[in-house]
Structure 1
Amino acid sequence: MRLTQITSAQLSEIARLVQEKEGLLKKVSEINRRLQYLPAEGRRRSRGGTTATRGRIPGKAGRHPGKLKAAVLDALEEAGSQGLSVKELSAKLGVKANNLYSWFYTTGKKVANLVKGGDGRYIYTPAQMEKTDHDATSGT
């Protein structure tokens, strides 16, 4: 069909269909945006091991690198030589136990002076200055 052969009725039908298509595309776009912010549970993971979209709403609080590490080490330091189990630590910090297990398996094993006792309790003793180093710096 040539443009010179289009009737006004056909032209108005084309215009109506284009408007309908644009409206539907707008609705699909809105649905995709809403789907993007649903929780990531149950979604398939991509090859890299992360979900294809984040389950976080923009503008909300994001990550705070090192916050969990600091909280865990402070709590363990307060507990002293008795240490804490993951369950106790979870209750104290308000963090899911599975997150703590993962943290101990990854980041925790890199922390010096953090040991797991035979009873499943984690003990953290921060590095103390050796007496010889202290004496040398204090001049005694």
Structure 2
Amino acid sequence: MKLNELSPSVPKKNRKRIGRGNSSGWGKTAGKGSNGQNSRAGGGVKPYFEGGQMPIYRRVPKRGFSNTIFKKEYTVISLSFLNDNFEDGEEVSLETLFNKCLIKKGRDGVKILGNGELNKKLTVKVHKISKSAKAAVEAKGGTVELVEVKGFERAESNK
């Protein structure tokens, strides 16, 4: 047996070449039936189109307020998490958390909550911190520094 004599155990299924002559069985209308919107290239109605009547998304009243575009999404971390992953006297910041692979980048910052206990003196530089967490860090002799979230800088030409 030679390499050119090898064949797969399950032979390849030939693809259906539509619109390639009447003798193929899929010629002329190529399986699309006769004329009309659905027989044209790119034809067919959108799934939400309701035949011209007022669509449901316009019939239903609008309610409430959405701030999803400008919403800030913080990575939330507890005091017990800091206690488990940092040594005494270490600095807790976005960079150190990312370098230790404890968080993923891409959010608007880090917020520390007061869940659990803290038994170490830490220097905390984060974007937000709860009152109870701040009190716990300062009670152990640590310091808390709030860092600003970097927003979009306006170009000089656009001012």
Task: Give TM-score, length-normalised by structure 2.
Answer: 0.28
Which structure shows the higher helix fraction?
1
Bigger Rg, which one: 2
Which structure shows the higher strand fraction?
2
Task: Give TM-score, length-normalised by structure 1.
Answer: 0.30
